[in-house]
Structure 1
Amino acid sequence: MLKGNLLNLFTEEIYPAEVEIQNGEIKCIKEVKGEFKNYILPGFIDAHIHIESSMLTPSRFAEVVVPHGTTAVVADPHEIANVLGLAGINYMMRDASTVPLHFFFTAPSCVPATAFETSGSVLGPAEIDELLQMDNVVALAEMMNFPGVIGEDQVVLEKIKLTREHSKPVDGHAPLLSGADLCKYICAGISTDHECSRLEEAQEKKRLGMKIMIREGSSAKNLEELQSVGGDFLVSDDRHPQDLLEGHLDHTLQKAVQLGMDPVEAIRMVTLNPASHYHLDTGSISPGKRADLVLVDDLEHFNVKKVLINGEIVAREGKALFKVQPTQIENTFRLRDKKPWDFEVQSNLTGKVTVRVIKVIEGQLLTEESEAILESSGGVLKVDHENDILKIAVVERYGTNHISNAFVNGFKLEKGAIASSVAHDSHNIIVVGTNSQDMATAVNTLKKNRGGLVAVYDEEVHSLKLPIAGLMSTLSAGEVSDQLTKLHDVVKDMGCKLASPFMTMSFMALLVIPKLKISDQGLFDVESFQFVDVLK
Structure 2
Amino acid sequence: MYMLKGNLLNLFTEEIYPAEVEIQGGLIKCIREVDEEFKNYILPGFIDAHIHIESSMLTPSRFAEAVVPHGTTAVVADPHEIANVLGISGIKYMMNDASTVPLRFFFTAPSCVPATPFETSGAVLGPREIDELLQLDDVVALGEMMNFPGVVGEDPTVLEKIKIAHQYSKPVDGHAPLLSGDDLCKYIGTGISTDHECSVMEEAMEKKRLGMKIMIREGSSAKNLEELWKVGGDFLVSDDRHPEDLLKGHLNHTLKKAVQLGIDPVEAIRMVTVNPSTHYNLDTGLLSPGKRADLILVNDLENFNVKKVFINGELVAREGKALFNVKPLPIENTFHLKTLKPSDFEINPMRTGNATVRVIKVMEGQLLTEESEANLEIVDGALKADPEQDVLKIGVVERYGNNHVANGFVNGFSLDKGAIASSVAHDSHNIIVVGTSSEDMALAVNTLKNNRGGLVAVCDDDIHSLKLPVAGLMSTMSADEVSLQMNLLHEVVKDMGCKLVSPFRTMSFMALLVIPQLKISDQGLFDVGSFQFVDVIK
Which residue of 1 is the match for residue 19 of structure 2?
17
1:465-484 alignment, distance < 5 Å? 465-484=467-486
Distance 1:187 1:379 in 2: 52
Which residue of 1 is the match for residue 295 of structure 2?
293
Could you say what secondary structure the match of 1:298 adopts?
A: coil
1:508-532 deviation per Cα after TM superposition (whole angstroms, max 9, x unaligned): 0000000000000000000100000
1:410-449 deviation per Cα after TM superposition (whole angstroms, max 9, x unaligned): 0000100000000000000000000110000000000000
Could you say what secondary structure the match of 1:98 adopts?
A: coil
Which residue of 1 is the match for residue 517 of structure 2?
515
What is the CA distance between 1:387 and its match in structure 2? 1.1
Which residue of 1 is the match for residue 414 of structure 2?
412
Could you say what secondary structure the match of 1:175 adopts?
A: coil
Task: State which of 310, 335, 338 in structure 1 corresponds to 2:337.
Answer: 335
What is the CA distance between 1:102 and its match in structure 2? 0.2
Percent sequence identity is 81
Which residue of 1 is the match for residue 487 of structure 2?
485
Could you say what secondary structure the match of 1:430 adopts?
A: strand
Which residue of 2 is the match for residue 371 of structure 1?
373
Which residue of 2 is the match for residue 38 of structure 1?
40
Amino acid in the other structure paired with 1:254 = K
Which residue of 2 is the match for residue 224 of structure 1?
226
Which residue of 2 is the match for residue 429 of structure 1?
431
Asked whether 1:323 is paired with 2:320, we answer no
Task: State which of 447, 457, 460 in structure 2 corresponds to 1:458.
Answer: 460
1:177-204 deviation per Cα after TM superposition (whole angstroms, max 9, x unaligned): 0000000000011000000001100000
What is the CA distance between 1:350 and its match in structure 2? 2.1
Distance 2:255 2:202 in 1: 23
What is the CA distance between 1:85 and its match in structure 2? 0.4
Which residue of 2 is the match for residue 78 of structure 1?
80
The alignment's TM-score, normalised by the length of structure 2, stands at: 0.99
Task: State which of 511, 519, 526 in structure 2 corresponds to 1:524.
Answer: 526
Distance 2:225 2:360 in 1: 26
Gaps of 5+ in 1: none
1:374-398 deviation per Cα after TM superposition (whole angstroms, max 9, x unaligned): 1123321111111100000000000
Distance 1:234 1:5 in 2: 24
Which residue of 1 is the match for residue 505 of structure 2?
503
Task: State which of 127, 132, 135 in structure 1 corresponds to 2:134.
Answer: 132
Asked whether 1:304 is paired with 2:301, we answer no
Aligned length: 536
What is the CA distance between 1:345 and its match in structure 2? 1.5
Distance 1:266 1:348 in 2: 59
Which residue of 2 is the match for residue 204 of structure 1?
206
Distance 1:324 1:155 in 2: 40
Task: State which of 55, 58, 62 in structure 2 corresponds to 1:56.
Answer: 58
What is the CA distance between 1:349 and its match in structure 2? 2.7
Amino acid in the other structure paired with 2:525 = L
Give the stretch that moved more between structures: 177-186 or 326-335: 326-335
1:141-220 alignment, distance < 5 Å? 141-220=143-222
Distance 2:476 2:210 in 1: 43
Amino acid in the other structure paired with 1:415 = K
The alignment's TM-score, normalised by the length of structure 1, stands at: 1.00
Whether the 8 Å contact between 2:85 and 2:334 is mirrored in structure 1 is no
Amino acid in the other structure paired with 1:244 = L
Distance 2:373 2:46 in 1: 45
What is the CA distance between 1:22 and its match in structure 2? 1.0
Question: Over aligned residue pairs, what C-alpha RMSD do you find?
Answer: 0.6
Give the stretch that moved more between structures: 344-353 or 273-282: 344-353
Could you say what secondary structure the match of 1:171 adopts?
A: strand
What is the CA distance between 1:483 and its match in structure 2? 0.6
What is the CA distance between 1:346 and its match in structure 2? 1.4
Amino acid in the other structure paired with 1:472 = M
What is the CA distance between 1:352 and its match in structure 2? 2.5
Could you say what secondary structure the match of 2:230 adopts?
A: coil
Distance 1:277 1:535 in 2: 48
Could you say what secondary structure the match of 1:508 adopts?
A: helix
Whether the 8 Å contact between 2:10 and 2:16 is mirrored in structure 1 is yes
Amino acid in the other structure paired with 2:412 = G
Could you say what secondary structure the match of 2:290 adopts?
A: coil
Give the stretch that moved more between structures: 388-397 or 351-360: 351-360
What is the CA distance between 1:284 and its match in structure 2? 1.2
Which residue of 1 is the match for residue 239 of structure 2?
237
1:50-129 alignment, distance < 5 Å? 50-129=52-131
Could you say what secondary structure the match of 2:231 adopts?
A: coil
Could you say what secondary structure the match of 1:287 adopts?
A: coil
1:338-391 deviation per Cα after TM superposition (whole angstroms, max 9, x unaligned): 111111121123223111000001001100011111112332111111110000
Distance 2:451 2:87 in 1: 22
Asked whether 1:398 is paired with 2:400, we answer yes
Distance 2:92 2:204 in 1: 34
What is the CA distance between 1:324 and its match in structure 2? 0.4
Which residue of 1 is the match for residue 272 of structure 2?
270
Give the stretch that moved more between structures: 418-427 or 351-360: 351-360
1:309-362 deviation per Cα after TM superposition (whole angstroms, max 9, x unaligned): 001100000000000011111122111101111111211232231110000010
Give the stretch that moved more between structures: 377-386 or 399-408: 377-386
